[in-house]
């Protein structure tokens, strides 16, 4: 079973702390760039760049609401995968303390 390039590219996207913060901010509901900036404390230009990258890779989708664009996670399973990885990293951290 080989690992394809698309899989590796998606994993790289998820390995960036700013992109993770953005995805966590979108966990429960769609948000605008302004809302994401307030929640994550990441600059507006950086948020916009990360959103654009994730939208281009079909991780996010956007919808215009009046003068604003709201972003949301396209596949809810992404957050389930993050939860699994968080639990695993906690277990690994607990083992390394002992």
- At residue 96, the pLDDT reads 63
- Print the domain residue range for 40: 5-97
Residue 80 CA to its chain's centroid (Å): 12
- At residue 11, the pLDDT reads 85
Tens digit of pLDDT for each residue in 44-80?
999 999 999 999 999 999 999 899 999 999 998 999 9
Provide the pairing of β-strand 68-73 with 60-65.
Answer: antiparallel
CB 51 within 8 A of CB 13: no
- At residue 4, the pLDDT reads 75
Query: How many separate domains does the chain show?
Result: 1
Which structure tokens are listed for 94? Answer: 């607990």
CA nearest 35: which of 47, 52, 20, 53?
47
Looking up residue 56, the CATH number of its domain turns out to be 1.10.10.10
User: Mean pLDDT across the chain, nearest whole number?
Assistant: 91
- At residue 58, the pLDDT reads 92
């Amino acid at each position: 079973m080989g690992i394809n390039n698309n899989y590796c590219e998606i994993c790289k996207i998820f390995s960036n702390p700013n992109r993770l913060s953005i995805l966590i901010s979108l966990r429960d509901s769609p948000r605008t760039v302004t809302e994401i900036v307030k929640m994550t404390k990441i600059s507006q230009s950086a948020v916009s760049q990360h959103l654009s990258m994730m939208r281009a890779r079909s991780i996010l989708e956007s919808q215009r609401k009046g003068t604003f664009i709201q972003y949301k996670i396209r596949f809810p399973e992404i957050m389930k995968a993050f939860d699994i990885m968080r639990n695993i990293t906690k277990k690994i951290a607990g083992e390394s303390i002992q």
